[in-house]
Amino acid sequence: MSVRPYLPCSEVIGFLADYIDRVLPPETIVEFERHLAVCASCVAYLASYKETIRAARIAEDVIADAPEELIEAILRSRLQ
Amino acid sequence: MNTTAQEPIVTDAELVARLQAGDESAFEKLVRTYMPRLLRVARRFLSSEEDARDAVQDAFVSVFKSIKNFEKNAQLSTWLHRIIINSSLMKLRSRRRRPEQEIETLLPRFQEDGHQVEPSTPWTESAQTVLERAELRDAVRKSIDQLPESYREILLLRDIEELTADETAEALGISKNVVKVRLHRARQALRTLLDPSMRTVPA
Ligand SMILES: [Zn+2]
């Protein structure tokens, strides 16, 4: 009985976006999970890839201010 | 022009109706309500405060011009969001491109057998610590700024502004497949840039 080869890390990392969006065919997901079960590097990469997206969202979620001079400039341009 | 006291504007539908009727007080209400959100989006795309404010002003000019054509069933906030994204992208296009790093230098490298040249190690910091620590938030924003422009804008549109791949493709005039490829590369490049600050334990 031959053993199925594991997907290479390059393919796992290459299709990570599709994996987290759950748009891969079921048989590919099985292959992904077989790989992740034995590859600490890809597990770390996957976790940090997801964390990158979250960190970007948090960092860009700044409080919005309303400069009065900008409000007035906009309202003035309306009256022109 | 009608600026006399009227019923208070409560819902967006009422606001739109008053705007379409040319009620000046409704325009001020619109600007005061939505300007902060628009400025916040413009600042993500444009590093200069002056450019960001110009983009907001341009956006409202186009809002004033096209409010007549606004469809009753559409969502006002979604419509405004699209307008500020377009005016921010336009402003961005009018700026000279700065020198930038090649995206390839920020992507993971693989050996012939498919293993990463430098295996990834777990991060000790998380998005939660980014939330808690201002200096880490600054570091993340600086890293986003370092991304090559054509990748940075896709990361902003897809992951921050949460446009769909189709909407992003349309806003940028590129194919959905290019959006998909660039988004993945942008996230990978950002991950590379964040790696040193998120991994405090030496590899
Ligand atoms: Zn692997």
B108 and B192, same structural domain? yes
Q: Is residue B190 part of a domain?
A: yes
Inter-chain CB proximity B160 and A57 less than 8 Å: yes
- Kindly state the average pLDDT of the residues B153-172: 97
Q: Is A23 on the interface with B (CB under 8 A)?
A: no
B135 and B73, same structural domain? no
CB-based contact A36:A20 (threshold 8 Å): no
Calculate ∠ Cα B166-B158-B183, nearest 5°.
95
B122 and B83, same structural domain? no
The radius of gyration of chain A's CA atoms, rounded to the nearest angstrom, is: 23
Inter-chain CB proximity B56 and A74 less than 8 Å: yes
Q: Is residue B7 part of a domain?
A: no
Which residue type occupies B24? E
B73 and B135, same structural domain? no
CATH number of the CATH domain containing B138: 1.10.10.10
Inter-chain CB proximity A44 and B122 less than 8 Å: yes
CA distance B192 to A60: 18
Assigned token pair, A42: 């890809």
Q: Is residue B4 part of a domain?
A: no
CA distance B107 to B194: 12
Report how far ligand 1's centroid is from the alpha carbon of B120 (Å): 9
B134 and B67, same structural domain? no
Chain B residues 10-49 with a CB less than 8 Å from chain A = 27-28, 31-32, 35-37, 39-40, 43-44
- Kindly state the average pLDDT of the residues B116-135: 92
Query: In the structure, what pLDDT confidence band is assigned to residue A2 with cuts at 50, 70 and 90?
Result: low
Closest CA in chain B for residue A47? B122
- pLDDT tens digits, residue range A16-32? 999 999 999 999 999 99
Query: In the structure, what pLDDT confidence band is assigned to residue B199 with cuts at 50, 70 and 90?
Result: confident
The SS3 assignment for B198 reads helix
The SS3 assignment for A43 reads helix
Inter-chain CB proximity B31 and A40 less than 8 Å: no
Report how far ligand 1's centroid is from the alpha carbon of A17 (Å): 15
Q: Which domain holds residue B167?
A: 103-200
CB-based contact B44:A62 (threshold 8 Å): no
> Where is pLDDT greater, at B10 or B177?
B177
Calculate ∠ Cα B32-B35-B41, nearest 5°.
160
CA distance A32 to A8: 10
Q: At residue B6, does pLDDT exceed 80?
A: no
- pLDDT tens digits, residue range B182-196? 999 999 999 999 999
pLDDT of residue B8: 76
Final residue belonging to a domain, choices B94, B118, B152: B94
B86 and B125, same structural domain? no
The number of C-beta contacts closer than 8 angstroms across A and B is: 133
Q: Is residue B2 part of a domain?
A: no
Q: Is residue B73 part of a domain?
A: yes
CA distance A16 to B168: 20
User: What residue spans of chain B are helical by DSSP H?
Assistant: 12-20, 24-45, 49-66, 76-94, 127-132, 134-146, 149-155, 165-172, 176-198
Determine which of B162, B187, B190 to mutate to test the interface with A (most A C-beta atoms within 10 Å). B187
Number of domains in chain B: 2
Q: What is the ipTM of this complex?
A: 0.93
Closest CA in chain B for residue A74? B57
CATH number of the CATH domain containing B75: 1.10.1740.10
Supply the pTM of this predicted model: 0.92
Nearest to B162 by CA among A68, A60, A69: A60
Each domain of chain A, given as residue ranges in start order, spans: 9-79
B134 and B114, same structural domain? yes
The strand pairing partners of B116, in sequence order, are B110
